[in-house]
Structure 1
Amino acid sequence: MTASQELHADLVIIGGGLGGCAAALSALQSGKTVILTEETKWIGGQITSQGVPPDEHPWIESFGATRNYRAFRRKVREYYFHHFPVKSSGRINEQFNPGNALVSKISHEPRVALRVLYDMLAPFLHSGKLTLLTEFKISDAETVEDQVLAVTVSHSVTGQSILLRGAYFLDATEMGDVLPAANVEYVIGAESHSDTGEEHALRGEAEPLNMQAFTYCFAVDYIEGEDHTIEKPAQYEFWKNYQAEFWPNKQLSWWGLVPHTLEPIEYSLFQEPNRFSLWTYRRVIDQTNFEPGTFLSDITIVNWPQNDYWLGPIIDVTEEEKQKHIHNAKQLSLSLLYWMQQEAPRPDGGSGYSGLRLRKDVLGTEDGLAMYPYIRESRRIKAEFTVKEQDISGEIAGKDSATYFEDSVGIGCYRLDLHPSTGLDTYIDISAFPFQIPLGSLIPVRVQNLLPASKNIGTTHLTNGCYRLHPVEWNIGEAAGHLAAYCIDQKIRPHEVRNNRQHLKDFQARLVKAGIELEWPQIHKV
């Protein structure tokens, strides 16, 4: 396909998720021009178009995030204070949490995250230093030897194609889509123990198509006494009767597993004694935070064990296979909603919560499901350094901290949290030490001017489980943006930054000045 237009910038960033936005912001703050593309209508990735409130570590309010990520969180709270009638008790709370969710200290609506991200990028959009192309997906790449010369992106509706040229190309897509197009070496799926030496890796052969489940999230509120039942999904009977061998009950039930013990657990929708409430798990609006009448109900995001889809991968399969699994995953989520509305057991002995209302507006789609599936596992570059389980696991005898990386470009913290996978494996959930992000994990083994800026860095199937969360993805993207800018300024390549002591020292000083923390204080594992 011949491109109808050609654009140039210092950095071309493919993928407008959290990593892509953070990379664009850091490069722009470094004085560079940026082209940022995004496959959906919304920038923000997992926090917007995928509908996932922030998963963060316990110390996030005090330390363990970049200055720009802190600014994002602060601006979310300010947005509610400026635009909503928040009760006075909330306005004086420095840790105001719009949804009071169990999983997040700042659980909020995807649309608010979208507005905040646009506000943070606004000066650069208005000045013309940032060109933003939404609903554009990579369709081709031009390479010569170890260089990427250009990428072509195509509009999902009109088919318009644009050729993008730059000094550096960043892959911030949700599934590492630039890597195969640009012939960048990468791995997918689950490695074997013989490959990585990891305790929890597969003992047989590697399984490239064995990847974590993905999820189509959706938002609901609850209007007692009203009936908002959706049309019965075509696959409802299948999902109503489906039960994986490792699962304690039917997929559509209130039963699941405690990830780190694999013991059965019975959930509830709303608060009940001795039950884990799914309603408050990822709630994005707690109506009691606001003056009476502002919201008719709480609003919660359904990203629960019951709508994790593990019956097949959508990376490196045929387009027909990919679309089949995407369709099936959507049917699973809609079937879960229908089951809750019509058949879910209630504590009063009745069945169904017909007052559950699918809030299509919250996620900006006609079908009410997120614009994009929540992708937990991407293609991952073959990197100069790959982070392995033994670098961060909190279960290794005699180990009292994560591996210290002299080439750190940031920090993160989360358990090695793997959801059931397409190999029909159950949860893997392992304690982890607060960890660093080594620069070596951002440097491809061969290609000189392409950098990962999302979940596609040099991790394994296992360690991806804790490098995939919101503040870590942001830090990865922000560091990648700085790295490209530094290399342009110094007229060197990324591997020279890592392998030259003076360049590494200078680059890390640049990161620290920009508000990126490179080391953790002495704290415990999670």
Structure 2
Amino acid sequence: MNYLNTDILIVGGGLGGVAAALAALKAGRRVVLTEQYQWLGGQLTSQAVPMDEHAWVEQFGVTASYRKLREGIRDYYRAWYPLTEEARAKSDLNPGAGLVSRLCAEPKVAVAVIDALLAPYLGTGRLTVLQPAIPVEAEVSGTRITSVTVRDARTSELTQITAGFVLDATETGELLPLVGAEYVTGSESREQTGEPSAPETASPDNMQAFSWCFAIDHVPGDNTIEKPRDYDYWRNYEPEFWGAPMLSLTGPDPRTLEIVTREFTPTIDDDPLALTADQSQAAGDRELWTFRRILARKLFTDGHFDSDIVLVNWPMIDYLEGSIIDSPAPEKHLEGARQLSLSMFYWLQTEAPRPDGGKGWPGLRLRGDVTGTTDGLAQAPYIRESRRIKAEYTVVENDLSVAVRGSGKPSTFFDSVGVGMYRIDLHPSTCGDNYIDVPSVPFEIPLGALIPVRLENLLPAGKNVGTTHLTNGAFRLHPVEWNIGEAAGWLAAFCLERAIEPRAVRNTPSILKEFQTLLAGAGVELHWPDITGY
């Protein structure tokens, strides 16, 4: 057993964990950051998902440190990649020209930028990163966590860490059951939350599907993989509401639920500079090749890349057969999701309809070098829904819904610690729900959603904040997770400096004002301008 002592322990090195670490380190604190996978960055890197963001992201609505991450990715391409002069000159360069985001890029580039942001603190020794490490045990005395033990995923070596504050930045709220925190899973009932889109009956097992993403390109030749073990099962798999087998290009439109057939054109010859992602107007998923494209070959000198590179995070790989949270068989579901994704890729290679009337694109390749794996899939599953703390304040649909509020004007909270914006966007669920898509107002992030009802030195730093099953659909995206983590990091450091508890910060007006002033000075936007949601 190894032993470490630090000011702030952050368990989970996703976007929220990285943002929390940077904030605490800027505040002068010592930090231990643990992460299960080989890359820091979570949904942006080990899960390989390009940034999902709101329509105003280039002007406002994110923290200064998140903007530094975004601009760092663009600068990395300008410094090291052979961009065309026209592409290099674009201040809002989108290396993938994907239609899901104004910044679609390779996950390994995001890794390089994240590592660079943390490098100065690793050099001083104030930051210790334990990787790959999984939390396995915790000790709690009264309302305070006294230690957390993590296990090295390669050697099984244990390290016990004591800290003044512990932040849970894991993808599924892994720390919450270990420390005995009060938490919620799945969907609440309408009676519990007052939300018009909530079901009549609560269902703790009803969670958004997770997906195992993968990166592909298309080159001449036959790159067909071996038929996946469970291909025949997934080839005939058709949820009641889907309108077609999932291994197809047909399925529900997330916003209208209309059954639509999408296009898939690996040979597309488009102009990437002419494309602009705008989620306020359209999801951009009618042509799947450009939907989550993370590298557009025509933005680089002629012949440097043989193909575009595309990240497959499509409705067809949403795994609906069960959850991995508080599940008796998480490994079964993880492997099931992997088999579904491999089966989707094999179907694209062998059966997907082509414009010439033929079937299959055998030139498609899995790009494990892009995702950092040998099998071509992402290192980790893409998690949309976590355990969620029971918080001093829980954000509900009525706080965010344009229809319920009767206006698209921003939603405000007296204890704002940041801002976010995304539609209440829920993927199909493990208990058979179809998409839920509710137009949302721009919202502030209330500090009350970061404060557990009982434990004093535990803070959530990701998707495990005080939201409901529904509002999690607006809080789960990249910039909001980063902002939550950044606020949690500053809050932990602020509380240590003043020897006070987080709930005292929220409930003491003068101290809350002091903390909000600190956040604003650090580049955290606390309020929206006069805009309207969508």
1:418 aligns with 2:415: no
CA contact (8 A) 1:311 1:424 kept: no
Q: Which residue of 2 aligns with 1:429?
A: 437
CA contact (8 A) 2:410 2:531 kept: no
SS in structure 2 of the partner of residue 50 of structure 1: coil
Q: Which residue of 2 aligns with 1:215?
A: 211
Displacement of 1:366 in angstroms is 1.6
CA contact (8 A) 2:99 2:285 kept: no
Alignment of 1:438-457 (within 5 A): 438-457=446-465
Q: Which residue of 2 aligns with 1:324?
A: 332
Q: Which residue of 1 aligns with 2:319?
A: 309
Distance 1:511 1:370 in 2: 34
- 507, 511, 534: which is aligned to 1:499? 507
Give per-residue Cα distances to partners, 1:43-80, cap 9 Å, x unaligned: 10000000100000000000000000000011101100
Q: Which residue of 1 aligns with 2:138?
A: 141
Distance 1:398 1:328 in 2: 42
Q: Which residue of 2 aligns with 1:288?
A: 298
Query: Structure 2 counterpart of 1:345, which letter?
Result: P
Q: Which residue of 2 aligns with 1:406?
A: 414
Displacement of 1:391 in angstroms is 0.2
Unaligned runs of 5+ in 2: 271-283
Distance 2:322 2:17 in 1: 27
Distance 1:116 1:275 in 2: 28
1:393 aligns with 2:398: no
Question: How many pairs align?
Answer: 519
Query: Structure 1 counterpart of 2:461, which letter?
Result: A
- 458, 461, 480: which is aligned to 2:469? 461
Displacement of 1:413 in angstroms is 0.3
Displacement of 1:397 in angstroms is 5.8
Displacement of 1:157 in angstroms is 1.5
CA contact (8 A) 1:441 1:458 kept: yes
Displacement of 1:272 in angstroms is 10
Q: Which residue of 2 aligns with 1:360?
A: 368
1:236 aligns with 2:231: yes
Displacement of 1:398 in angstroms is 2.8
Q: Which residue of 1 aligns with 2:26?
A: 29
Give per-residue Cα distances to partners, 1:128-187, cap 9 Å, x unaligned: 010001110000000011000000000112100000111000000000000000000000
Distance 2:332 2:241 in 1: 23
Distance 1:234 1:37 in 2: 34
Distance 1:358 1:50 in 2: 15
Displacement of 1:347 in angstroms is 1.5
Query: Structure 2 counterpart of 1:427, which letter?
Result: Y
SS in structure 1 of the partner of residue 322 of structure 2: coil
Alignment of 1:334-345 (within 5 A): 334-345=342-353
TM-score by length of 2: 0.96
SS in structure 1 of the partner of residue 181 of structure 2: coil
Query: Structure 1 counterpart of 2:388, which letter?
Result: R
Displacement of 1:400 in angstroms is 4.1
1:264 aligns with 2:259: yes
SS in structure 2 of the partner of residue 150 of structure 1: strand
Identical aligned pairs, as a percentage?
Answer: 52
CA contact (8 A) 1:266 1:275 kept: no
1:106 aligns with 2:103: yes
Change in CA separation of 1:352 and 1:383 when aligned onto 2, cut-off 3 Å: same
Distance 1:373 1:346 in 2: 29
1:12 aligns with 2:22: no
Distance 1:404 1:471 in 2: 18
CA contact (8 A) 1:216 1:330 kept: yes
Q: Which residue of 1 aligns with 2:281?
A: none
Change in CA separation of 1:400 and 1:355 when aligned onto 2, cut-off 3 Å: closer
SS in structure 2 of the partner of residue 331 of structure 1: helix
Give per-residue Cα distances to partners, 1:362-388, cap 9 Å, x unaligned: 111121111110000000000000000
Q: Which residue of 1 aligns with 2:277?
A: none
Displacement of 1:261 in angstroms is 1.0
Q: Which residue of 1 aligns with 2:94?
A: 97
SS in structure 2 of the partner of residue 396 of structure 1: helix
Change in CA separation of 1:275 and 1:122 when aligned onto 2, cut-off 3 Å: closer
SS in structure 1 of the partner of residue 404 of structure 2: coil
Q: Which residue of 1 aligns with 2:532?
A: 524
Instruction: Please say which of residues 140-149 and 253-262 is displaced more in the overlay.
Output: 253-262
Give per-residue Cα distances to partners, 1:231-254, cap 9 Å, x unaligned: 100100011111000101011011
Give per-residue Cα distances to partners, 1:13-56, cap 9 Å, x unaligned: 00000000000000000100100000011110000000100000
Displacement of 1:402 in angstroms is 4.2
Q: Which residue of 1 aligns with 2:482?
A: 474
Unaligned runs of 5+ in 1: none
Q: Which residue of 2 aligns with 1:254?
A: 249
1:182 aligns with 2:179: yes
Instruction: Please say which of residues 18-27 and 255-264 is displaced more in the overlay.
Output: 255-264
- 76, 84, 88: which is aligned to 2:85? 88
Alignment of 1:29-48 (within 5 A): 29-48=26-45
SS in structure 2 of the partner of residue 495 of structure 1: helix
CA contact (8 A) 2:410 2:532 kept: no
Distance 1:6 1:408 in 2: 37
Q: Which residue of 2 aligns with 1:348?
A: 356
Displacement of 1:404 in angstroms is 1.6
CA contact (8 A) 2:316 2:344 kept: yes
Instruction: Please say which of residues 479-488 and 260-269 is displaced more in the overlay.
Output: 260-269
Change in CA separation of 1:248 and 1:272 when aligned onto 2, cut-off 3 Å: farther
CA contact (8 A) 2:424 2:470 kept: yes
Structure 1 runs (4+) greater than 3 angstroms displaced = 271-275
CA contact (8 A) 1:419 1:426 kept: yes
SS in structure 2 of the partner of residue 465 of structure 1: helix
TM-score by length of 1: 0.97
Distance 1:37 1:400 in 2: 39
Distance 1:468 1:427 in 2: 15
Q: Which residue of 2 aligns with 1:126?
A: 123
Q: Which residue of 2 aligns with 1:511?
A: 519
CA contact (8 A) 1:51 1:110 kept: yes
Displacement of 1:275 in angstroms is 8.6
Change in CA separation of 1:306 and 1:400 when aligned onto 2, cut-off 3 Å: closer
